[in-house]
Homo-oligomer: A and B are copies of this chain.
Amino acid sequence: MGKVRFSVSVSLDGFMAGPGQSVEDPLGKGGMQVHRWALELAAMRRMFGQPGGLVNASTPIIEDQFAGVGAILMGRNMFGGQPGDWGDGAWRGWWGEDPPYHLSVFVVTHHPRAPLAMQGGTTFHFVTEGVEAALARARAAAGEKDVLLSGGASVIRQCLAAGLVDELGISLAPVFLGRGERPFDDPALAALRLEQARVIEAPGVTHLRYRVVR
């Protein structure tokens, strides 16, 4: 069976997004600074059909993020908030008509909805039975491949606290946000045993990987 893993960018004070997240400002106040290393990369811009951008030691982090991934799990806000829009099926998330996943994506939400098939092989499945049920469905869809937890903070925190994660990817940005969403803020996390697996220094960010030891 594949691994359950995630890659998050966090500030030095542990925030992956700033305060005041909204549809207009999905990263919250200051959150752009945490994700700048990725947004500036040619590899990232290409995923959204944009030209230009940088090539550096972070490039393989972006290029390889979906390697070996068979399904994706995300929270409602990662799909694109606005539950009020869901009733009539008008809101199709903020990933565009051809989302960069090309896989089954399981969205944890309180709002039931039929699966939404997009261009390029991405289908969003909406799961209302909680994170563990959504992860079970993602695992089944992934088969021998990995499940990637793409966020937000709450989904990652819940999966970690339930002992369901095998590998942690942390991209540490040289910034303090002061407030916002912390994925690693739960006393239950103290039960995990980790080992440091890999460190990559890149311009304006350090990429860390840890394995959960069972």
Residues in chain A within 8 A of chain B (CB atoms): 12-14, 30, 168, 170, 172, 174-179, 182, 184-190, 192, 194-196, 199, 201, 203-206, 208, 210
A13 and B12 within 8 A (CB): no
- Flag if B14 contacts A13 (CB, 8 Å): yes
Query: B184–A12 contact, CB under 8 A?
Result: yes
Q: Are the CB atoms of A199 and B199 closer together than 8 Å?
A: yes
Q: A194 to B188, alpha carbons, bound, how many Å? A: 31
List 18 A-B residue pairs with CB atoms under 8 Å apart, sorted by A's residue number: A12-B168, A12-B170, A12-B184, A12-B210, A13-B14, A13-B184, A14-B14, A30-B190, A174-B195, A174-B196, A174-B210, A175-B194, A176-B189, A176-B190, A177-B190, A178-B190, A196-B203, A206-B206
Contact for A196 among B178, B179, B187, B205, CB less than 8 A: B205
A193 nearest CB neighbor, chain B only: B175
Chain B min CB distance to A27 (Å):
14
Q: A12-B170, A13-B182, A13-B185 are in contact. List 13 more A-B contacts (CB 8 A).
A: A12-B194, A13-B184, A14-B14, A172-B208, A174-B196, A174-B210, A177-B190, A178-B186, A178-B189, A179-B190, A196-B201, A196-B203, A199-B206
Instruction: Please name the residue on chain B nearest to A208 by beta carbon.
Output: B206
Chain B: which residue is nearest A194 at the CB level?
A: B174
A208 vs B207: C-alpha distance in the bound complex, in angstroms? 12
Chain B residues within 8 Å of A178, by CB:
186-190
The CA-CA distance from A168 to B187 in the complex, in Å, is 26
Would A189 and B14 be within 8 Å (CB), given that A194-B174, A201-B199 are in contact? no
State in angstroms the CA–CA spacing of A194 and B173 once bound together.
9
CB pair B179–A187 under 8 Å, yes or no, is yes
Residues of B within 8 A of A210 (CB): 12, 174
Q: Which residue of B lies closest to A184 (CB)?
A: B13
Most buried by B among A178, A192, A210: A178
Let me know if B192 and A176 touch, CB within 8 A.
yes
Question: Which residues of B sit under 8 angstroms from A195, Cβ to Cβ?
Answer: 174, 204
